[in-house]
Amino acid sequence: MLPKGQMQNLMKQAQKMQQEMEKAQAELENLTVEGSAGGGMVIVEASGKKHIKSVRIVPEVLQEDVEMVEDLILAAVNQAIQKAEELEKSKMGSMLGGKIPGFGF
């Protein structure tokens, strides 16, 4: 069992970490990433929380085969989500890494 002073210190660190995590989560909602496909013919914008905010398609793409357009949209969405995940990992990892031994995210 930890001495009382160490336990209080650990609890304070945990509370501070929780506050920092909540702040980082709120910041992620306001950050945006973009995924694109077809050389920028399809662009998808997502929040850092992986919510799709917009889809832009160059009108000329719509004259192409429907399956190709669908593939471009899927590729752009997947890229946007991947970038959002990397942003989240970077934001949360830099905040949490090394603060508690054994919990370096």
Q: Lowest mean pLDDT of 2-11, 22-31, 70-79, 82-91, name the range.
A: 2-11
Cα(69)–Cα(66) distance, rounded to whole angstroms?
A: 5
**Rounded to an integer, what is the distance from CA 84 to the centroid of its chain?**
3
Considering the segment(s) 29-96 as one domain, its CATH architecture is 2-Layer Sandwich (3.30)
Which residues neighbour 35 within 8 Å (Cβ) at sequence distance 6 or greater?
Answer: 43, 44, 46, 75, 76, 77, 78, 79, 80, 81, 82, 83
The pTM score is 0.72
Q: Which residue has the tokens 């909540």?
A: 22
3 state SS of 43:
strand
* Per-residue CA distances from 86 to 3, 50, 91 (Å): 39, 11, 8
Residue 30 has pLDDT above 80, yes or no: yes
Q: What is the DSSP letter of 100?
A: S
Rounded mean pLDDT, 88-98: 73
Query: Which pLDDT score, from 0 to 100, does residue 24 have?
Result: 80
Asked if residues 20 and 48 have their Cβ atoms less than 8 Å apart, the reply is: no
